[in-house]
Structure 1
Amino acid sequence: MATKIPAEKFGICQCETHHSESILYQILNKEQGSETKWHKQNCSPHCCARSKGCPCLDRRRVVLRTPEATCRRASEVLLKTSTFIRNLPSFYHMPWEDQFVLIQQNWAPLFVLGMAQEGVDFDLREIPGTSLLKKILLNQCSTAVNELGRSSAGASFTEVQKMKNLLWKFWDLDISGKEYAYIKGIILFNSECHVLKCLPYVQSLQQEAQKALMEFISIMFHGSLSRFASILQLIMSLRDIDADAIEELFFRPFLEEATLNVLLLETISINPDWL
């Protein structure tokens, strides 16, 4: 369904360049030069760009290649996510403080799960970064070092690629509609939110969703424990999704100073001002 986009498509990893050999670069950015040297010594040219700790990937910023169409589909996913929550009587049986916490902590994985269910794929383009030397030549030396690798525009390439990888994994498993519903319940009723006033109630709801998912898989897939384990692993990975990256990539032009968290709370009639 989707074509995986290798990191190399967005340019050569900075670890493979020769900045560390520049005397000017070492003087102005000694620490970064040391990191680059370490990567050149310990990472092969082919694995460097994929290295989890690669600082070059952390600095790279991306935006949507077709923002109008993709943002429209993302907004539809967000609306369906809020509708799913609104249609759960068990959710509204909880105190509004607990509702607030569950939305705040779980809207991002629910949104990515909705993207997977709706089959929303998206292409990216990288935002070219301004080199340190160029900033110096443009009389920006005082802020050049501090701004190196940081951009106010675009989302983190690393975080966005993590999200795309999860989408591909869900599509590879060919998750059914009922499985998606049970997974949403497992995510929303997150028993790891220990600050909840009615934690035992939330724990019971999550256990019910997990039991229903297991029974469905047992019937439809002949008791495939490996499928159940794979889905649980994906649920754990969903909790690592960066909410800020989602906001920046899909909703920043519309949110302005607001946050997607507040928007969702208002959509399902939870007033954050109460807190």
Structure 2
Amino acid sequence: MATLDGCRCRGASGRNNSSILYSILKSDGLAAAEEPQQEHQHQHQHQHQQEQQRTLQHLFHKASPSSCAPASLQELRRLQQQQQQQQQSCSCGSTRRRGVLRSPQVTCKAASAVLVKTLRFVKNVPCFRELPEDDQLLLIRSGWAALLVLGLAQDRVDFDTTETVEPSMLQRILTGSPDRPSEAPAGRGPGQGRGAAGVSVVDIEAIKAFLKKCWSVDISTKEYAYLKGAVLFNPDLEGLRCLHYIQSLRREAHQALNEHIKLIHREDTTRFAKLLIALSMLRAISPPVVAQLFFRPVIGSVDIEEVLMEMFYGK
């Protein structure tokens, strides 16, 4: 069980229900139970809730530190190299191509619902709420976008985009268009002006590639819960007060995920590596890109972090 070194936290009291296994799974179950059922997703969400409720009835054994098999590490390195080669091969000719959502109102509404569910999930993780508020803010600002995209994958929210033309420098000079979305005049509404140019096609393809990766692996509800824990507890941020504790939480989430895979998917020796590859793809997705693609069409130039803080803390 993770312990909180040098921090005052009830999660360090040694109780079984304060472990990352219990906290994450309980939070995911509560989040799904509180989410209003939508007609087009009713059957799918009901299946998730049933599995999450069954999960709450069990306690899991934590994995040993040496739980990652050498074959999985080799597979991980090989897939990472392939991913880097693909990114290098396609990045040169596509940086100026941009895209926007084909149905922004529908997709943005679905993304907003996932964001609400995501923040509710984070709120219900006891060992997160017991962290100092400064650490909470850092973790939310760092992880909200990755958690959102992970939620899109779990809820199987797909989206279509249409390509737009990136204006040339001469066109921007002649029309007086700003070079950056943040410079758009305040009088323009959502989706107008420079913001309508969308985001890079390369960034859109990265998000779609991650979604397809998750769906091809057919990630279970429990695996999504452990992945959320690995994303939320990010020890690579500067200024964390409870760094060692957050490191132990991420390590425990990884170990719990690997132990679950060994228990349920004994024959699939590369599944853990595949999920780690999915995490690496997820962490490469930029939060500004997620905000621009899924929220700019409905909230305009409003700072997404201000919206997040208001939703999470009510301020």
Partner of 1:243: 287
Establish whether residue 53 from structure 1 lines up as the match of residue 91 from structure 2: yes
Query: RMSD of the alignment, in Å?
Result: 2.6
Partner of 2:108: 71
Establish whether residue 187 from structure 1 lines up as the match of residue 231 from structure 2: yes
Contact 1:77 1:115 in 2 (8 A): yes
Partner of 1:5: none
Scaled by the length of structure 1, the TM-score of the pair is: 0.71
Describe the shift of the 1:132–1:259 C-alpha distance in structure 2 as closer, same or farther (beyond 3 A).
Answer: closer
Q: Offset at 1:223? A: 6.3
Distance in 2 (CA, whole Å) between partners of 1:114 and 1:62 is 22
Q: Offset at 1:111? A: 0.8
Establish whether residue 109 from structure 1 lines up as the match of residue 146 from structure 2: yes
Give the structure, 1 or 2, with the largest relative contact order (CA under 8 Å, sep 6 or more).
2
- Aligned match of 1:208 in 236, 246, 252? 252
Q: Offset at 1:221? A: 0.2
Describe the shift of the 1:140–1:225 C-alpha distance in structure 2 as closer, same or farther (beyond 3 A).
Answer: same
Cα-to-partner distance string for 1:127-164 (whole Å, 9 max, x where unaligned):
2344678x49xx829x79x89xxx54311111111110
- Aligned match of 2:203 in 150, 159, 162? 159
**Secondary structure, in 3 states, of the residue corresponding to 1:62?**
strand
Distance in 1 (CA, whole Å) between partners of 2:200 and 2:263 is 41
Q: Offset at 1:172? A: 0.3
Distance in 1 (CA, whole Å) between partners of 2:231 and 2:221 is 15
Describe the shift of the 1:199–1:129 C-alpha distance in structure 2 as closer, same or farther (beyond 3 A).
Answer: closer
Q: Offset at 1:194? A: 4.1
Partner of 1:119: 156
Describe the shift of the 1:99–1:140 C-alpha distance in structure 2 as closer, same or farther (beyond 3 A).
Answer: same
Q: Offset at 1:59? A: 1.3
Describe the shift of the 1:257–1:173 C-alpha distance in structure 2 as closer, same or farther (beyond 3 A).
Answer: same
| Unpaired stretches in structure 1, ≥5 consecutive residues | 1-48
Letter in 2 for 1:237: M
Q: Offset at 1:235? A: 0.8
Contact 1:57 1:157 in 2 (8 A): yes
**Secondary structure, in 3 states, of the residue corresponding to 2:205?**
helix
Cα-to-partner distance string for 1:58-104 (whole Å, 9 max, x where unaligned):
11121111111111111111111101101111101111000011011
Scaled by the length of structure 2, the TM-score of the pair is: 0.63
**Bigger Cα Rg:** 1
**Secondary structure, in 3 states, of the residue corresponding to 1:94?**
coil
Q: Offset at 1:262? A: 2.4
Contact 1:217 1:228 in 2 (8 A): yes
Distance in 1 (CA, whole Å) between partners of 2:296 and 2:99 is 13
**Secondary structure, in 3 states, of the residue corresponding to 1:268?**
helix
- Aligned match of 1:96 in 120, 129, 133? 133
Describe the shift of the 1:210–1:130 C-alpha distance in structure 2 as closer, same or farther (beyond 3 A).
Answer: closer
Distance in 2 (CA, whole Å) between partners of 1:101 and 1:50 is 31
Q: Offset at 1:109? A: 0.9
Cα-to-partner distance string for 1:13-61 (whole Å, 9 max, x where unaligned):
xxxxxxxxxxxxxxxxxxxxxxxxxxxxxxxxxxxx993331x411112
| Unpaired stretches in structure 2, ≥5 consecutive residues | 1-86, 181-193
Contact 1:102 1:189 in 2 (8 A): yes
Q: Offset at 1:261? A: 2.4
Partner of 1:217: 261
Establish whether residue 178 from structure 1 lines up as the match of residue 243 from structure 2: no
Identity of aligned residues (%): 41
Letter in 2 for 1:97: D
- Aligned match of 2:174 in 101, 126, 140? 140
